[in-house]
Amino acid sequence: MYELNPSAEAEAAAVRASLEFSDYLRALARERAQHPGGDLISELVQVVDEGERLTVDELVGTCVLLLNAGHEATVNATLLGWWTLFRHPDQLQLLRAEHALIPTAVEELLRFDTPLQLFERWVLEPFDLHGTSIPRGAELGLVFGSANRDPEVFDQPDRVDLGRTPNPHLSFGAGIHFCLGAPLGRLELQTSFRTLLERFPRMEPVEEPRWKPSYIVRGLAGLRVRLG
């Protein structure tokens, strides 16, 4: 759904999948309303705010946001991050020796190779950008991956520095479009990197990874490693 010029078959498959997923969530919500458990959907069904409950559409939208919006990006960020570390063994060695660097390391890995390279935005008010007039209603493609390597913002932007501070990368967006799941994504990434570093301190790749055939959502099809 995010890629440029998807085929008619891909669009139809996406619509079909979204409808099927919506139907599944609606049925699940009805079941949890009658037989609540200890899960998040059961809690959401029971939410009452000033006498009002979430509508079914609101519940479905919340579940889609929680599950889909962050899942693929987090998975891609994990694989891209490890692939970056494997290609920069000095930084990987540093991280293995100093787990306290994990929070800043996650930010740097997100900056260096962001899993979401581009998003479209529509201009609400006309403005000038370096001598170019941008009219109201124009559709812009904002390349976050390029912004994260801006030499006017980042010292030696093509260098991986796991201790880089400050690190004002745009991998989570900005302004009113800032990612709602950023705190969760950061927690997931820090937890997964720390766990793998502790359990498999000598993990190493066994082959060159294959890339997914996409650009806007950037990621690896897989990353085969040897545990150690």
Distance CA 217, CA 153 (A): 24
Could you tell me if residue 46 is inside a domain?
no
Could you tell me if residue 90 is inside a domain?
yes
Q: Say which residue the tokens 């650009």 belong to.
A: 215
Could you tell me if residue 36 is inside a domain?
no
Range of the domain at 198: 55-117+153-226
Q: Is the pLDDT of residue 105 over 90?
A: yes
8 A C-beta contact, residue 194 and residue 96:
no
The per-residue pLDDT for 48 is 62
Task: Convert the pLDDT of each residue in 125-147 to its tens digit.
Answer: 999 999 999 999 999 999 999 99
Report the mean per-residue pLDDT for the chain. 92
Comparing 50 with 106, the larger pLDDT belongs to 106
Could you tell me if residue 148 is inside a domain?
no
Provide the pLDDT confidence category of residue 189 given band limits of 50, 70 and 90.
very high
Burial 198-220 (b: 16+ CB within 10 A, else e): eeeeebeeeeebeeeeeebbbbb
8 A C-beta contact, residue 171 and residue 114:
yes
Q: Which two tokens stand for residue 53?
A: 């409950």
Which DSSP string do the residues of 116-155 spell out, in sequence order? B-EEEEE-SS-EEETTEEE-TT-EEEEEHHHHTT-TTTSS
Comparing 214 with 104, the larger pLDDT belongs to 104
Cis peptide before 166 (omega within 30 of 0): yes
Task: Convert the pLDDT of each residue in 13-54 to its tens digit.
Answer: 989 999 999 999 999 989 998 999 999 889 888 886 667 888
Maximum separation of any 2 CA atoms in the chain, in Å: 61
- Tell me the mean pLDDT in the region 217-228: 93
- Tell me the mean pLDDT in the region 194-214: 95
% the chain with pLDDT above 90: 69
- Tell me the mean pLDDT in the region 55-83: 87
The per-residue pLDDT for 119 is 87
The total number of residues written for the chain in this structure: 228
The per-residue pLDDT for 72 is 85
Task: Convert the pLDDT of each residue in 166-183 to its tens digit.
Answer: 999 999 999 988 988 899
Provide the pLDDT confidence category of residue 114 given band limits of 50, 70 and 90.
very high
Q: Is the pLDDT of residue 219 over 90?
A: yes
The per-residue pLDDT for 62 is 85
**CB count in 10 Å sphere of residue 158:** 8
Phi and psi dihedrals of 15, rounded to 5? Answer: -65, -45
Could you tell me if residue 35 is inside a domain?
no
The per-residue pLDDT for 69 is 67
Domain with residue 159: its CATH number is 1.10.630.10
The per-residue pLDDT for 54 is 84
Domain count, the chain: 1
